[in-house]
Structure 1
Amino acid sequence: MNETAPLRARAEIDLAALRANVRSLRAHAPSAAVMAVVKSDAYGHGAVPCARAAREAGAGWLGTATPEEALALREAGLPGRILCWLWTPGGPWAQAVEADLDVSVSGMWALREVVEAARAVGVPARVQLKADTGLGRNGCGPADWPELVAAALRAEAEGLITVTGLWSHLACADEPGHPSIRPQLTLFREMVAYAEERGARPEVRHIANSPATLTLPESHFDLVRTGIAVYGISPSPEIGTPADFGLRPVMTLSASIALVKHVEGGHGISYGHHYVTPGATTLGLIPVGYADGIPRHASGTGPVLVGGKLRTVAGRIAMDQFVVDLGGDEPAVGEEAVLFGPGDRGEPTAEDWARAAGTIAYEIVTRIGTRVPRVHVKVNNELSG
């Protein structure tokens, strides 16, 4: 892709920043290995290039939600440990075993299916047992843990699986001091101890996500699972900016201005006329909309940098476009409008858009759609392959 081509829109992905973020996260957890979570196409940043960059920076593990995401990494030639954890009955267990993936098991049905797959392909499966210590989503609860551990150890004794990990997930790590954190850590230690007392010898025990990695050293154990922090977004904006945590946002989202025109006062803008020009002005048409992942909830509030000045979305964000009131300025058609980036040039950040839309920055970057090309840039602004 020609880096200077006049694109309707582009999401530039700074792989140098991503590598620096991984190195920073390694420094935050010096006694643990680092997993770079690249689920959901690396939170919208492009899974394969980001996974490669994370590996280059020393991430010992990669993590995905679905097995299909993990298999795609293997097909792209990504080596090393990859954990995938969101399974449904009938999933591609055999392919995962053959691809040497670590698979997560939260219940007896999943253990049965992975054991059957391992028996069929003749290769032991790498299995990590997930405990529900209080998040209330996936994971095996304390009452069912003895049955799952016993069955997993029987399968291991038969040479069908290797129990490579014991893990869980914190519910409120982004709120340091939340009363749920201590009980979850205590229960995790107890459930790990139970499994190990009965013969489990996991390679890794892990519970820390991005916020816990940054703020809760006692949660680091053998491995930390870093997702949003890898991409330079603060997982706890109330207590620290990316810079406070030694991180830099990786994605810059921009679009080319498609039209600039003069209108009189009293001119209604976009569907429903929720914005009416207060006087004669100029309007700029930004050719991205909610089909590209721009949140409609940010209608009338979303910030954009145009011509060196911060503007605000005027009226409703439509499927493919929105308007900004330029206040009489006349930037050239084709000039760049920056929706968000690191903030170096005064542009908004993903966190600014999250506040405007009443959501979190995770959603802002992850929802950017496939119509927006990802342009992966290495050091010295060289394009990534």
Structure 2
Amino acid sequence: MTTLLPAPRVTLSRLHAPTLQTIPEAVAENVRRVRATCSARIMAVVKADGYGHGAVTVAEAAVAAGAEWLGVTDVADAVALRDAGFTVPILSWLNPSGADAETAAALRIDVAVGSVEELRQLIADAVDPVRVHLHLDTGMARGGCPLDDWEELFRTARAGRGRVEVVGVMGHLPRADEADPRANAAAVLRFRHGRDAVLRAGFGPVLVHLAATSGALTDPGTHFDMVRIGAGLVGIDPSGATTLAGAARWTAPVVHSALVPAGTAVGYGGAHITERETHLSVVGVGYADGIPRELAAEAAVAIDGARYPIVGRVSMDQIVIDTGAVPVPRGTVATVFGPEGGVVPSVQEWARWAGSIPHTVVTGIGARVQRSVA
């Protein structure tokens, strides 16, 4: 009889996994910062999985800090928040595949409609009344009902009473990132006309909201009844006029290091050639994880209180950094970005290095990067 011996136990050497850590206290601080600038209600917009920071985590911190509403992209996102236990009002205003009227009514999820066609479809689908916010185009031409269609929108809403209940009117500021009230004066005036037209059409009282993060922070004339804070929750003011608290820290391990001579070609195509003997380290994140592939020469990560430049092309799974005379052991943790300041890069710096905006940096972090909460 053959005796089977147990397989030898293999102990794996684990490195620190690439991790995005969300900092709820920073979210709360940003809500408090907005509260200090205005007396309007605050909607915490947690679309795109809370701008990449985790919708439930961000929503919990925002509501605890005083946000009275939540905003999402579609009804399915709102359902996930209801399943997580949130009872505050929720608005879904994009609904790219159409709004689920039955679910919206059952779970008391408000739905924004920005065209006569959308409203007619919602009325046709509704059995129980759906709470509706009329979305008016105030000059962006990127959604919202055009001025010429407002009267038809109102007539359709009146005809659909019993299936829809108009409870709000909303718009967007087309140039809020300029942090200059004069840039949006025409949009604010049009929105005021729209609000008045809604009231004259027999709807009211309605919740009136126009401003997002930049407007809330820089233009009191846009506050109305409520402001919608999305990017601002996680530390991004699109206007750049204020400094908010960064709400995440992205770290990743060094997976390989080597001392190389001058004249060493680095990465695909040898896009970088070392000018001297130097230490190179490979950090285990790449463009599949959200590192922008095209970066300015000053792009860098932080390790142990020093900033080291990224050299060569960004690969799918890796970047290479030049640490000069400093040898960096395998397993050392690098900080891609964080809120600490100093040598630690910020999300805003990464946006500049990529020729983009901070929103694309935080929402582009891939699923392979683990998530944690501080």
TM-score by length of 1: 0.90
Cα drift, residue 308 of structure 1: 1.7
1:58 partnered with 2:66: yes
Secondary structure class of the residue paired with 2:79: helix
| Match of residue 14, structure 1, among 16, 19, 23 | 23
- Which amino acid is the alignment partner of residue 170 of structure 1? L
Task: Output the CA distance in 2 between the equivalents of 1:85 and 1:369.
Answer: 25
Question: Which of these residues, 136, 141, 151, is aligned with residue 131 of structure 1?
Answer: 136
1:197 to 196, 200, 222: 200
Q: Secondary structure at the match of 1:144?
A: helix
CA–CA separation in structure 1 for the residues paired with 2:26 and 2:182? 34
Q: Deviations over 1:121-163 (max 9, x none)?
A: xx2100000000101101001100000012112322xx22211
Q: Is the 8 A contact 1:299 1:313 kept in 2?
A: no
Contact 1:304–1:313, Cα closer than 8 Å, also in 2? yes
* Contact 1:89-1:110 at 8 Å conserved across structures: no
Q: Which has the larger radius of gyration?
A: 2
What whole-Å deviation, never above 9, does each CA across 1:15-38 have from its counterpart, x for those lacking one? 1111121122112112x1000110
Q: Give the Cα separation in 2 of the matches to 1:335 and 1:202.
A: 58
| Partner Cα distance (1:90, 1:278) in 2 | 57
Moved more, 84-93 or 354-363: 84-93
**Residue identity matched to 1:306:** I
* 1:346 CA drift (Å): 2.6
1:368 partnered with 2:365 = yes
Between stretches 51-60 and 297-306, larger displacement belongs to 297-306
The answer to whether 1:141 aligns with 2:146 is yes
Alignment check: 8 A CA contact 1:306 1:336 kept: yes
Question: Aligned match of 1:213 in 213, 216, 222?
Answer: 216
Distance 2:179 2:322 in 1: 40
**How far does the alpha carbon of each residue in 1:36-72 deviate from its partner, in whole angstroms, 9 at most, with x for none?**
1100000000011111111111100101112221222
Deviation at 1:312, TM superposition (A): 1.3
* Structure 2 residue 251 is the aligned partner of structure 1 residue 254: yes
What number of residue pairs does the alignment pair up? 361
Question: For 1:202 and 1:252, how far apart are their aligned partners in 2?
Answer: 43
Taking the TM superposition and a 5 Å limit, the aligned residue runs for 1:92-171 are: 92-119=100-127, 123-156=128-161, 159-171=162-174
Evaluate the alpha carbon distance shift between residue 96 and residue 7 of structure 1 in structure 2; reply closer, same or farther with a 3 A threshold: farther
* Gapped regions of structure 2 (runs ≥ 5): 1-13
Say yes or no: does 1:312 pair with 2:309: yes
Q: CA deviation at 1:329?
A: 0.6
Q: CA deviation at 1:299?
A: 6.1
Q: Check if 1:86 corresponds to 2:94.
A: yes
More divergent stretch after superposition (206-215 vs 335-344): 335-344
- 1:311–1:325 Cα contact (<8 Å) kept: yes
Which residue number in structure 1 is paired with residue 287 of structure 2?
290
**Change in CA separation of 1:354 and 1:90 when aligned onto 2, cut-off 3 Å:** closer
* Map of 1:183 onto structure 2: 186
Measure, in 1, the Cα distance between the counterparts of 2:365 and 2:326.
28
Deviation at 1:305, TM superposition (A): 0.7
Question: Which amino acid in structure 2 is aligned with residue 286 of structure 1?
Answer: V
2:175 is matched with 172
Deviations 1:85-112 (A, max 9, x none): 1124654222222221000101122112
3-state DSSP of counterpart to 2:43: strand
* 277 and 23 in structure 1: CA distance in 2 versus 1, 3 angstrom threshold: same
Residue equivalent to 1:380: none
- TM-align CA RMSD: 1.5
Per the alignment, residue 44 of structure 1 pairs with 52
1:280 aligns with 2:285: no
Matched, 1:23 2:32: yes
Partner Cα distance (2:368, 2:287) in 1: 11
Aligned partner letter, 2:168:
G
Residue identity matched to 1:201: G
Deviation at 1:6, TM superposition (A): 4.2
Cα distance per residue 1:193-239 (max 9 Å; x no partner): 011012111431011010000000010000000111111123222x3
